[in-house]
Structure 1
Amino acid sequence: MKIGFIGAGNMGMALIKGILKSDFVEAEDLILYDPVREKVEGLEREFGTVTAKDNLELTEKSDVVIVAVKPNVYDEVLKEIREKVTEEKIIITIAPGITIDHVKKLLGRGKIVRTIPNTPALIGEGITAVTYSEEVKEEDKELVRKIFSTCGEIVEIEEKLIDVAMAVSSCSPAFVYMFIEALADGGVLLGLPRDVAYKLASKAVSGAGSMVFKTGFHPGQLKDMVTSPGGTTIEGIRVLEKSGMRSAVIEAVIAAYQKAKGLK
């Protein structure tokens, strides 16, 4: 089985490296193309992947084609590869706002899988939302699961919710980085060395996320476990609530979702 990657940006590279670290396929079964040839040629030298001369060659030689380009060039790329797409080829998209129906209209054939990964995939800690066209069979779905499980977790959802998932999981790392930075800035303001402040803040955030994931407890329950009557934590929470933290986060998710609906 041959897997082709059109595009080797952050998300494409995360998936490529995740697959290379696993024993899922051999390096020579990965066919790569990126306009910045240094990216893929470097992988070829280091790991033994195959560099295609163009998108057409890549599509023709691949059983699975992962289109990891920006939304504004999707139409151009899909039209370019259309003649090489067969009924049995699996086409995986990685972009907000690009619907399965839109891809079908441009390609005319193929099994379409729409995905939304996030950047923690770069360290194997990502989560990918996945939805499928009706042509995708169960064995095809299992293949998709294997590909994306090389760099994290997977959730399968209805397509109508995929852009919501994008706002919650794909945009949110940036929101969380802002929160970590703000926590660290507070520590620096009060005298902590910056490197220590970043370490304390980032580990607190990653640990808190793991607590929600691994314990299954409601976030509110975990919050209450940290919040003593009349203590320091509830005093900080009072300020966050007064400043509208919850509302700001909810509005950020809505704004990201609405932006995705306008992309193509």
Structure 2
Amino acid sequence: MNVGFIGTGTMGSLLIEAFIASGALSPPQITVSNRTFTKAQALADRYSGMKAETANAGAACGKDIVFLCVKPHEFKKVVDELKPVMRPDQIAVSITSPVLISHLEGELDCKIAKVIPSITNHVGSGASLCIYGKRIGEEDKQRLEGLLSYISEPLCIAEEYTRIVSDLSSCGPAFMSFFLEQFIEAAVAETGIGREEAQRVASAMLLGTGLLLTEGGLSPADIQARVAVPGGITAKALSLLQRETGGVFNQLIRTTHAKFREDLSKVSVAFIGEEVNGQ
């Protein structure tokens, strides 16, 4: 399998590095391009056999799978560059949530998929959220999910839920890390415990909680019920959290969805010349 990556920014580089580290791909199987060629070349220089191309078309030509790891406002330009070289048997995979399957199927004569990765894929964990176009067959799905399974748990989702599952899976690590950071900083300020020690304890706690929710088969409510003895310390603290944070995640979701709709409108104007009401 030969794979092209267009865009070697944060997520593009993360996917490349994760695939190589997991053994899913070897460097000679990978070709990369980037708006700034020196960044693509710097990445290729780190991995013997990887090839960097100056043109996006060069990174896509003849590849089995082409990952499009570019920002929404850059997408139409990149797609226009790929039109002459993409063929029906190739799979183009967008990792940019506001770019719809219909946008790409209307422009490229190939199979189309969308994958929402997560920073957790860097350590072979978390989900890869997969959305498929109408040209994708079962064999194509197996090929793509087989690749993604080296670094994640591939999960098929409906495109209408792109934003909310992205909030949970892709943005979620940042959101949870924010609250953990606040917890750690408060522990340091209130008690004088060393920051590194507090972070070590809190990080182990978060890892263990994740395992309880997955391998342990517990729900968030189950964990709270088991930890919070009625009338005890944890129960009192949970009451405080319920009072102080009630509705905050509703506001968070409204905020991410508003930004998504803004980006989707801009992408739709670029592709079809008009705004659409997106997922």
Query: TM-score interval w.r.t. the shorter chain?
Result: over 0.9
Deviation of the 1:246 alpha carbon:
4.4
Counting only pairs closer than 5 Å after superposition, residues 50-199 of structure 1 correspond to structure 2 as 50-107=51-108, 109-190=109-190, 191-199=192-200
Alpha-carbon distance in structure 2 between the residues aligned to 1:229 and 1:255:
35
Alpha-carbon distance in structure 2 between the residues aligned to 1:112 and 1:258:
26
Alpha-carbon distance in structure 2 between the residues aligned to 1:208 and 1:22:
25
Alpha-carbon distance in structure 2 between the residues aligned to 1:228 and 1:198:
25
What is the match of residue 222 of structure 1?
223
Matched residue type, 1:146: G
**TM-score, normalisation: structure 2:** 0.89
Deviation of the 1:259 alpha carbon:
1.9
What is the match of residue 11 of structure 1?
11
- Root-mean-square deviation (CA, aligned residues, Å) is 1.6
Moved more, 17-26 or 115-124: 17-26
What is the match of residue 201 of structure 2?
200
Deviation of the 1:110 alpha carbon:
0.8
Percent identical pairs in the alignment equals 26
CA contact (8 A) 1:75 1:106 kept: no
Matched residue type, 2:16: I
- How big is each residue's C-alpha offset from its partner over 1:73-97, in whole Å with a ceiling of 9 and x where there is no partner? 1111111111111111100000121
- How big is each residue's C-alpha offset from its partner over 1:103-141, in whole Å with a ceiling of 9 and x where there is no partner? 11232x110001111112222223211110111111111
What is the match of residue 239 of structure 2?
238
1:211 aligns with 2:205: no
Counting only pairs closer than 5 Å after superposition, residues 12-27 of structure 1 correspond to structure 2 as 12-27=12-27
CA contact (8 A) 1:31 1:51 kept: yes
Q: Secondary structure at the match of 1:171?
A: helix
Question: Which consecutive unaligned segments of at least 5 residues does structure 2 have?
Answer: 268-279
Alpha-carbon distance in structure 2 between the residues aligned to 1:147 and 1:39:
25
Deviation of the 1:220 alpha carbon:
0.2
CA contact (8 A) 2:31 2:50 kept: yes
CA contact (8 A) 1:128 1:153 kept: yes
- How big is each residue's C-alpha offset from its partner over 1:204-244, in whole Å with a ceiling of 9 and x where there is no partner? 2222122101122221011111001221111110110110x
Deviation of the 1:173 alpha carbon:
1.4
Deviation of the 1:32 alpha carbon:
0.8
